[in-house]
Amino acid sequence: MPRKLSLDLNKYKPFILPLVILCLVVFSGLFLLKPKINQILDVRRNLSSQKTKLAQLTTKVAALQGLDEVELEERTKVLLGVLPSQKDLPGALVTIKSITSVAGLELRGIQVEPGEISTESAQTEPTKKYNLPFLEFKITVGGNRTQFGDFLTKLVLTAPLMQVTTAEITQADGGAIEADLKLDAFFLPLPSTLGAVEKPLASITPQEEGIYQQLSRISPVQTETISPIQSGKENPFTP
């Protein structure tokens, strides 16, 4: 008689609990723990960048709080006088005219290089010559050597910032001179944006501080105010 093969399931009962636990660990690990670990890693990365940003902002706030607003306004005013934010053609002409007049020179001719004053944005990009945009003037002045020397001294001490690039001085027998000068008057448009909030605050270097001290000695030309002259009639229809 063949022996009946029967599986005694009772024998395997003690294995059910470990199997259930193992399945629980594996499945919850896959579907619960793994996403959670990924989420934690993301949050940690995010937190790290947030902390960096916070540190940058804290430094920036501290740096800004340490600045004196009144002094900054004063300094900015000085620098905007020295380096205007736009092509100030009338201002530059008035300055040149005033300096020649104060020095006692005769302004015989003045010419602005064509094309450069045509539009506001005609030359806002730095040139090869300088790292600043500029307006080029050609002037002819007449007088004596002392007056001419005085003119050159005043020119470098007057705002807006101008620079003589070439000079051709012709001296007559009587000591009178005539000089043809090429002058560059600089300007620089204001920055259009403040940049990113967390961008560190640009500090003024000791070299720039020295430059500021030099530039603070440059003052705008003292122009006489022209009082309005009463002429004609207020109402042309009145007799």
Partner 1 sequence: MTQGINLLKVERKRDERLVYLAHFLKVGSIVLLIFYSLMVTALFSFSIYLGQESTKTSQQIETKQRQLEGLKKIESLQLVLKQRLSSLTELMTKRGASYQEWLSQLDQKSEPGITIKQITILDSGVMKISGSASQATVLARFLDKLAEENPIFSTVVLTSISRQKDGSYLFNIDLKTSNATQTVS
The stretch among 96-104, 114-122, 136-144, 183-191 that binds partner 1 (CB under 8 A) is 183-191
Residues 116-145 that bind partner 1 (CB under 8 A): 130-132, 145
Q: Does 43 bind partner 1 (CB under 8 A)?
A: yes
Q: How far apart are CA 135 and CA 96, in angstroms?
A: 13
Stretch binding partner 1 (CB under 8 A), from 86-94, 100-108, 112-120, 210-218 = 210-218
- Phi then psi for residue 11, to 5 deg, are -65, -30
Q: List CB contacts of 73: < 8 A, sequence separation 6 or more.
A: none
In whole angstroms, what is the distance from residue 139 CA to residue 122 CA?
A: 22
**Minimal distance in Å, beta carbon 176 to partner 1?**
12
Nearer to partner 1, 106 or 145 (CB): 145
Q: How far is the CB of 217 from partner 1 (least distance, A)?
A: 6
- Eight-state DSSP code of residue 114: T
Cβ closest to partner 1, residue 76 vs residue 111: 76
Q: Where are the beta strands (DSSP E) in the chain?
A: 106-112, 134-144, 158-159, 162-171, 176-186, 219-220
What are 166's strand-pairing partners?
182
The residues in 57-116 that bind partner 1, with binding defined as CB under 8 A, are 57-58, 60-61, 64-65, 67, 69, 72-73, 75-76, 79-80, 82-83
Residue 172 is given by DSSP the state -
Residue carrying structure tokens 């045509």: 118
The DSSP bridge partners found for residue 176 are: 144
SS3 220: strand
The DSSP output letter for 100 is: H
Q: Which is closer to partner 1, CB of 112 or CB of 159?
A: 159
Question: Taking contact as CB under 8 A, which single stretch among the options 96-104, 113-121, 135-143, 180-188 is the one that binds partner 1?
Answer: 180-188
39 in contact with partner 1 (CB under 8 A): yes
Binding test (CB under 8 A) with partner 1, winner from 119, 208, 219, 223: 208
**Nearest Cα to Cα of residue 194 among 70, 77, 64:** 64
Return the residue of 1, 190, 196, 229 that touches partner 1, per CB under 8 A.
190
Candidate residues 111, 124, 170, 223; the one interacting with partner 1 per rule CB under 8 A: 170
